Amino acid sequence: MQRVEERLGDLQHETIVTRGRDVWSGVQASLKQLGSDLIVLGTHGRTGLRKLLMGSVAERVLRSSAVPVMTVGPAVACELASDGKFRRVLLATNFTPGSAEAACYARAFAEQDEAELVLVHACKKVRQGGFDKRSDPSVAEVLHRLHEAIPGTDTLRRRPEALVEFGEAGARIVEVAKQKKADLIVMGIRNAGSVLAATHLDVGTAHNVVAQAPCPVLTVRPKGQQAA
């Protein structure tokens, strides 16, 4: 905690040390006590067979918190921009019910910091040579839905850029974040037994993005869902 306080400098802050059966119990108690509306959490970024090691702390907080959680993985640069503002915000969405909350946060950050807003949707390939036309929307339809996800764009610095990617969602989101030099990814997450199998995107997407993202990731839970 002394090392943490050294990084905070003259910023007004309070240091709390709690004891409990796990990390989440201590965080949950502090949330209620302070009325906090954001959790910032560091992760070790393990993937593959070792990704389950994330479950004891970060995964538990992600699926339990009723307030947004900003995760900072090992690939994130240690230093922020000099003014601490976001320059380019990436919203990853699959249009699942409840994803509107994530869109609202992405728009709010973009408007507040006068940042560029990039919208991305990843489609899975179902077979070689194309997509299942009976169930998959056209690229034009997806682009239209992406722009519809962000209402009131006249107050933004510029019209959001919409992208449709093809392949595994987590990998494509991370790659777009790198290409666009995003400094914040925003995505929705819903309550269930495990964040690894219950995101607004595909199985494992939230974990893979959090573990590999080159920038912080803000996960937002839909309103009305109770913490696990």
- Compute the radius of gyration of the chain from its Cα atoms: 18
- Answer for the pair 30, 183: CB distance below 8 angstroms, yes or no: no
- 31's enclosing H/E stretch is helix 23-34
Confidence band, pLDDT 50/70/90 cuts, at residue 165: very high
State the CATH number of the domain containing residue 184.
3.40.50.620
Domain tally, the chain = 1
**What is the side-by-side order of every strand in the sheet holding 69-72?**
39-42, 69-72, 217-220, 184-188, 88-92, 116-123, 161-166
- Domain assignment of residue 153, yes or no: yes
Give every CB contact of residue 139 below 8 A, 6+ residues apart in sequence. Answer: 164
Lowest mean pLDDT among 93-97, 209-213, 215-219: 93-97
Between 105 and 196, the higher pLDDT residue: 105
Is residue 60 a part of any domain in this protein?
yes
Would 89 be classed as within a structural domain? yes
What global pTM score does this model have?
0.83
DSSP string for residues in 128-147: TTB--TTTSPPHHHHHHHHH
